């Protein structure tokens, strides 16, 4: 019988340190692309969701249509979503970002709107009595008080984007999803496992980072719990 090869890559093992050593640059490039796709999509989604939630809060009749449209977008399967966007963006990173933005709107709009609705009416009335106009009231009273709910939505949207970004591998812009997809096609165990674990690490790290940010910018919630 032939002795098994000493190289874990040759043995195609799931856990292989040699894979990390020899594919370090590939992994770093994939992680960088994954982070860029996630961060850009969440930031754009937040920039769109915030005014939508504010408008839905100001004009009650708009809340139903806004929530309905964003909910319908979230129910579209990812492959179908990318196919629908393909004629507009082509095979590009913009296609993946646009899809992730649309998926994030449901989580962000709902949570921001819930936070704005939870602001006590007596607080609004007191601010108006002190001469606060609509813009100042929104920026200095309503949005700060809505931060806990908004940050909860942002955390979920970010973790969701980290996961969904892998689907971008079908158009060649999936970050770590590219490695997972190619590894599954060739049954390259170390690549599939390493890329999958890195996705989980990114999701957990992003969630903890946003949780820490929420802890820093909402000191009144700590005082309340204390």
Measured from the Cβ of residue 139, the count of other Cβ atoms closer than 10 Å reads 11
pLDDT at 223 over 80: no
Distance CA 161, CA 163 (A): 5
Q: Which two tokens stand for residue 132?
A: 């606060």
Distance CA 212, CA 165 (A): 24
Measured from the Cβ of residue 161, the count of other Cβ atoms closer than 10 Å reads 27
Lowest mean pLDDT among 99-103, 113-117, 208-212, 214-218: 214-218
Distance CA 115, CA 142 (A): 8
Residue pLDDT, tens place only, 35-50: 999 999 999 999 999 9
Distance CA 169, CA 40 (A): 17
Q: Which two tokens stand for residue 220?
A: 């009144």
Distance CA 106, CA 103 (A): 6
The pTM for the full model equals 0.87
The CATH number corresponding to 17-215 among 1.20.1050.90, 3.40.1190.20, 1.10.230.10, 1.10.3720.10 equals 1.10.3720.10
Residue pLDDT, tens place only, 57-96: 888 788 888 889 888 888 888 888 888 898 888 888 899 9
Whether the CB-CB separation of 95 and 171 falls below 8 Å is answered with yes
């Amino acid at each position: 019988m032939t002795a098994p090869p000493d190289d874990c890559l040759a043995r195609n093992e799931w856990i292989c340190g040699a894979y990390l050593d020899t594919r370090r640059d590939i992994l770093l490039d994939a992680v960088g692309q994954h982070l860029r796709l996630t961060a850009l999509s969440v930031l754009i989604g937040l920039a769109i969701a915030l005014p939508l939630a504010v408008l839905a809060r100001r004009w009650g009749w708009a809340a139903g249509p806004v929530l309905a449209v964003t909910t319908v977008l979230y129910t579209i399967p990812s492959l179908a979503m990318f196919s629908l966007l393909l004629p507009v963006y082509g095979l590009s990173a913009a296609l993946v970002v646009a899809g992730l933005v649309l998926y994030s709107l449901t989580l962000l709009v709902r949570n921001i709107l819930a936070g704005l609705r939870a602001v006590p009416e007596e607080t609004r009335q007191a601010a108006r009595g002190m001469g606060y106009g609509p813009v100042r009231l929104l920026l200095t009273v309503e949005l700060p008080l809505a931060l806990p709910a908004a940050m909860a939505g942002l955390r979920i949207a970010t973790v969701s984007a980290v996961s969904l970004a892998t689907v971008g591998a079908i158009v060649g812009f999936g970050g770590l999803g590219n490695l997972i997809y190619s590894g599954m096609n060739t049954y390259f165990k170390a690549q599939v496992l390493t890329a999958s674990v890195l996705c989980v690490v990114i999701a957990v790290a992003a969630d903890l980072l946003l949780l820490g940010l929420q802890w820093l910018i909402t000191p009144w919630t700590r005082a309340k719990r204390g």
